[in-house]
Structure 1
Amino acid sequence: MTDTPVKSYAVGLLSEVRMGADIAEYLRRIDDTLAPFSGRFLVHGNVPTELEGTWPGDLIVIEFPQAEGASAWYASEGYQAILPLRTDNADGVVAVFEGVEHPHRATDILRNGAATGA
């Protein structure tokens, strides 16, 4: 265990983004929805350096300092008000992930009931 709080992340993998007035408005307004939850972009649509396979879209990763931060932001009135500007103009998937406690080693997931292949 650690004294460092577990963070959360909102992660989107978007494809077929149809740039236009609605997406521009979404981009202008999203930062204000993140501020009350101390959310910050870690990755926002940068072009990947593909190492294996073909990357299928634009990756967005937003970090929140609390475990419940990403879910609270997504459900917030402010974000829900602008969400259709994106969903009506882009295809993709969005999910919320809780971060890991530090220190973390790859084998830690084996203790959490993950399949071991045996």
Structure 2
Amino acid sequence: MKKGYWIGRVDVANPEAYQDYVNSNGPAFAKFGGRFIVRGGQFRAVEGESRSRNIVLEFPSYEAALACWDSPEYQAVKKKRDGHATAEIIVIEGHEG
């Protein structure tokens, strides 16, 4: 089964409120088997525009990744981020090559 991923690029406008979101999102991710591959960290944009924060979150399947995004648990936590950060997030199926 192919894994699923969230890939996110984020600019944080209100670090204190964003930290509350960060501190609260773990249980929703864990419920669906999510684990961080990338969570912030040093980076260099080598082509195109970038944002200040990047994440890659791995799930056991694409379906689990979508289920997490659509879940009431995550949507409740996401409200803590809304208005405090600008994000581009995609849910994508992994490649088994």
Q: When the two structures are superposed, what TM-score results if normalisation uses the length of structure 1?
A: 0.73
- TM-score, normalised on structure 2? 0.87
- Any unmatched runs of 5+ in structure 2? none
Q: Report deviation, 1:50.
A: 4.0
What are structure 1's unaligned runs of at least 5 residues?
Answer: 104-118
The equivalent residue for 2:18 is: 23
Return structure 1 stretches of 4+ with deviation > 2 angstroms: 49-57
Residue 67 of structure 1: how far off its partner (Å): 2.0
Normalized per residue, which structure has more strand?
Answer: 2
Distance in 1 between the 2:55 and 2:13 partners? 13
RMSD: 1.6
Inter-partner Cα distance in structure 1 for 2:21 and 2:58? 18
Question: In structure 2, what is the Cα distance between the partners aligned to 1:65 and 1:19?
Answer: 30
Which protein has greater RCO, CA pairs closer than 8 Å, 6+ apart?
A: 2
Q: Give the greater-gyration-radius structure (CA).
A: 1
Q: Percent identity?
A: 32
- Tell me the residue number matched to 1:45: 40
Contact 1:48 1:55 in 2 (8 A): no
